[in-house]
Amino acid sequence: MDPHDSPEEAAFRAEARSFLTAHAKPLPSTALAMSAIVAEWSADEEAQRLAEAKTWQRTKFDAGWAGIAWPTVYGGRAGSVVEELIFKMEESEFDVPHDALVVGLGWCGPAVMQHGTAEQRDRFLRPLLSGDEVWCQLFSEPGAGSDLAGLNTKALRDGDEWVLTGQKVWTTFAHHADWGLCIARHDPSAAKHRGLTAFMVDMQTDGVEARPLRQMTDSANFNEVFLNDVRVPDHLRIGEVGDGWRVVISTFMWERFNAVGGSLRVIDALADLIRERGAAADAKVRQRYADIYSRAGALKYTFLRLMTALSQGRMPGPEGSVMKLAATDLLTDVFDLALAVMGGDAQGYGGDAPWEGEWHSGFLGTPGMRIGGGTDAVQRNIIGERVLGLPKDLRVDTDRPFSEIPTGA
C-alpha cells in the first residue's frame, strides 16, 4: 500500500498486484525497465519486444486489466485515472513489456477518445486497447520540430477525400504501425495555428513510405515518413476542419505525462550500482547521489499533484511541463553518474557492459527526451508564462505572446 492511497485505492492496488503476481515475474534486480522512448533496441529486439508487448496487452485486455480508465464499451475497466496510474506503478515492478505500444495507448488513444466521433471511437479504440493495432504519431517535420505549428504537410480537399503531401520525421515505430495520427495544413492562408486539421492515416495506404533512421545508439526506432499524394477519406478526419491544433495540444499533454509518469525505480538502481562498484566511499559520488535523490522526491511530489488534478477530472496542464522538464534533467544526471562510477567499464557495449548495457542505453537515449513532446525551451516558456506569470515572450512569427497563441480551446 502506498501511503497516499485511500482505502479504496489500497484495495485496488492489492487486486492489481495479485493479477500481476499470477501472470508475470518480478523484475530482475539488475533490470532498469527503461521506457521504450529511452531504451533503444536493435531491429531484432524491436520486433521481438513489439510482439511481446502485443501478447501482454492481449492478456491484460482479456482479463479486464487494459485501459483501466477507458469505458467498458471499448474494452476498458471504467475506473479512475488514479487507478490507472496505480496499475502502471505496480506493473513497472514486473518483468513485462511495459510500453512498446505507448504511442497508441498513451497518446493517440486519448486523442481519439476526446476528439473522435462515436463511429471512430467504436472502430479504433477496442483494437488499439487489445494490442491488435499499432499506432504512430505523424507530427514533427524537418522544418517544424519545437515550432510544430509551422508544419508544411499539405491537406487538399478532393470531394469526400483529402490528399496529404509532405514529410514527417522522428516518428517512433512508424515502420511497424497500422495507423498514424497526422496533423496537416489545410489552409495556408489562415493563421498557422488555425490552418491545421488532424487525420487518421492507414499506414498501408499507397503513397505512405516509412524509412527508419539510424541513431548513435545503433538502433532505428525512429523514422522519417513520406506522404506522397496519400488519399484519406473524410470520415478519417478527427475533429473539425481547422481543429488540428486542439488535437495537438491534448496529445502533447498526455505524451508529456506518459513519457515520465512511471516509477522512479532507476534512482534505487543507481544506489545499488554505486555500492556494487565500491564508489559509496567517494564523497563526491555521495553528494551527487544525494542531490539526485532529493530531486527525485520533488519530482514525485509534482507527480502526485498531477494525479490529484487528473482525479478531479482536469486535463494535464502546465504541471506536465514541470514534470517532463524536471524528469529529463534528473535522468540526464542519473545516467551520467552511473557511467562515471563504472570507470573503464563504461566503455563496454551491450552484453559486455555492466547490467547488460541498460545504463548505456539510457545514457544514449535520454537526450531524445529533451525534444520529444516539446523541447526543453518550449517547456520553460510554458512554465514561465503559465505557472510563474513572468513577462511573456513575443513570437517572432506573430508578434504575439507565446501564451496567447490559440490552442483551439
pLDDT of residue 408: 35
Largest pairwise CA distance in the chain? 72
What cell does 304 get? 502526485
Judgement on whether residues 258 and 304 belong to the same structural domain of the protein: yes
Judgement on whether residues 141 and 268 belong to the same structural domain of the protein: no
Judgement on whether residues 93 and 177 belong to the same structural domain of the protein: no
DSSP string, 321-338: HHHHHHHHHHHHHHHHHH
Q: Which residues, including other chains, have CB under 8 Å from residue 233's CB and lie 6 or more apart?
A: 160, 161, 162
User: Is the pTM of the predicted complex or chain greater than 0.85?
Assistant: no
- Rg over alpha carbons for the chain, rounded to the nearest Å, is 21
- Which residues participate in catalysis according to the annotation? 255
Q: What is the span of the domain harbouring residue 366?
A: 248-404
Strands 135-138 and 208-212: unpaired
Neighbours of 169 (CB within 10 A): 20
Calpha distance 27→145 (Å, rounded) = 36
Judgement on whether residues 32 and 104 belong to the same structural domain of the protein: yes
Number of domains comprising the chain: 3
Last residue of a domain, one of 211, 231, 246: 246
What separation in angstroms does the CA of 358 have from each of 57, 335, 352, 376?
24, 10, 11, 24
Cβ–Cβ under 8 Å, residues 181 and 255: no
pLDDT, tens digit only, all 409 positions of the chain? 565 788 999 999 999 999 999 999 998 776 775 555 555 677 787 888 899 999 999 999 999 999 998 999 999 999 988 888 889 889 988 988 867 898 899 889 999 999 999 999 999 999 999 999 999 999 999 988 767 888 999 999 999 999 999 999 989 889 999 999 999 999 999 988 899 999 999 999 999 999 998 877 677 788 999 999 999 999 999 999 999 998 988 777 666 665 555 556 788 889 999 999 999 999 999 999 999 999 988 887 777 776 666 666 666 567 777 888 888 899 999 999 999 999 999 988 777 888 888 888 888 878 877 877 678 888 888 888 888 888 877 665 554 554 555 443 3
Calpha distance 311→80 (Å, rounded) = 7
DSSP string, 115-129: HS-HHHHHHHHHHHH
Burial class, 214, CB count within 10 angstroms (exposed 0-12 / middle 13-18 / buried 19+): exposed
Hey, what amino acid is at 150?
Answer: G
pLDDT of residue 409: 30
Judgement on whether residues 253 and 370 belong to the same structural domain of the protein: yes
**CATH of residue 30:** 1.10.540.10
